Amino acid sequence: MRLLFLGDLMGRSGRTAVIDALPDLREKLKLDFIIVNAENAASGFGTTSKIAGQVIQAGADVPSGGNHTFDQKEILTAIDNDGRILRPINYPEGTPGRGFNIYDAPRGKKVMVINAMGRVFMNAMECPFRAIDAVLKKYRLGATVNAIIVDFHGEATSEKMAMGHYLDGRVSMVVGTHSHVPTADCQILDGGTGYQTDAGMCGDYNSVIGMDKKEPISRFLTKMNRERYSPAGGEATICGTFLETDDRTGLTKRIEPVRMGPRLMAHMPEV
């Protein structure tokens, strides 16, 4: 199967670019499945049922989340009722929504997506390693499901790398989100799992991780909050990860970055 994961959707600029690009990307890369981390889609803080619906209508199969999942309170009903929208699996028991699900893909294939959040320099959460372990005891790559994609939303590169190696051979790909900066370490780990520390964001890179530059710089200089953060509104660069899996094992045959837009060096896989 061919899958595309797009990193944090940042504000109007990022979501408009992605919504416009998804149909062409699906056709150009001959994609079977698309995941988009949408936790910053609504003015940089959370998402709404309307935005999630627009992303799905444009071609995404799953909008995933992170530490801003519940910033927009109206998402609470949608995330409980719509199995396509995910939040991190290691939120405390009783939190609305779900942290993983299994989805239909073409040719009768089944794709599991797991969304988890790190604990280093992040809010206190349950252990993401044990939470994912509990799921993988019930579902097995290449048997129960044809592909397993883990969106690991975390601050520390070490924690993301540890998760990649911990799950190596048991999932198709571990891809990091949250830092909004694409890393140059797309690789296939020893056990056959595809890995990238961070897919990067889909947003305006003429910014401070997607936010208009003025207020973040002011806060670093003065340690004062003068204004609200607001997403940068310039032309977005789309960043993500392309994955091709083995139909028999579900492990990774090929992994490459995807970058398209005005600010970063472009890269588009050839299929």
Catalytic residue numbers read 68
Burial label for 219, CB within 10 Å (0-12, 13-18, 19+), is middle
| Beta pairing partners, 110 | 104
3-state secondary structure of 238: strand
Q: Could you tell me how many helices (H) and strands (E) the chain has, helices first?
A: 6, 11
Which of 41, 40, 62, 72 is CA-nearest to residue 178? Answer: 40
Measured CA angle at 196 (ends 195, 199), to 5 deg: 140
For 152: left if phi > 0, alpha if psi spans -120 to 50, otherwise beta; the answer is beta
- What gap in Å lies between CA 58 and CA 62, rounded to an integer? 11
Between strands 173-177 and 194-196, the pairing is parallel
Contact 126, 90 (CB under 8 A): yes
